[in-house]
Amino acid sequence: MTSVEPEKKRRSYATAITQAVLVLVVLLTCVPYLVSIALAEGPAQAGTADASPIFGVTIPAGYKQWELIAPAEEAAPLDELRAVVGNQTAIDAYQAGKLPFPDGTILVKRAWKRKKSPEFEAATIPGAATTVQVMVKDSKKYAATGGWGFGRFVNGRPVDEAQHRTCFACHEVRAKSRDYVFTRLAP
């Protein structure tokens, strides 16, 4: 009897320690994961490597599935094909002819080098992707730039701050009366 009791105690200590270690391991593996989820779901990820300088705009998930607003073409020297697409908020606003665009609107301009179709001489098709440009409407956060946050990305990485200083300047001068947006819904 006297030898059984300490043995039992020792065993329950061992179980308690094992459980504590397990809990610790689970916590240590989960916490960074949970933090990354919380950050990813946060509004703009300013300060992360994927976000544009000044504005903290990131490439929106799923934009390749978004609806087309209009295609465009850029003459030499860029020689690019473009397509402006928008999220549902953007499409709804366009269809209702609503200006200014509501908060939550996201416009993405995709761009590719122009290429001749290998099958048909007269046809031009998209070559290599060049840039992804993004405009996000948040009238409070981006009050200083007409309510728009800007992001320009090459190979998924934002370009430098100097380039981001040019965005609003040009959109402001030429498209102010249309809430700083050039692209009209293609007929």
Interface positions with ligand HEC (CB under 6 A): 72, 74, 82, 84, 107, 109, 133-135, 150-152, 163-164, 166-167, 170-171, 181-183
Residue with tokens 């609503």: 98
Judge whether 134 and 59 are in contact, CB under 8 Å. Answer: yes
Tell the smallest beta-carbon distance from residue 52 to ligand HEC (Å). Answer: 7
Distance CA 41, CA 46 (A): 13
Q: Closer to ligand HEC at the Cβ: 14 or 71?
A: 71
Q: Closer to ligand HEC at the Cβ: 1 or 49?
A: 49
Q: Closer to ligand HEC at the Cβ: 10 or 165?
A: 165
Question: Residue type for 134, please?
Answer: V
- Give the sign of the dihedral formed by CA 78, CA 81, CA 84, CA 85: negative
- Output phi, psi for 137, to 5 deg: -90, 120
Tell the smallest beta-carbon distance from residue 84 to ligand HEC (Å). Answer: 4
Q: Closer to ligand HEC at the Cβ: 59 or 115?
A: 59
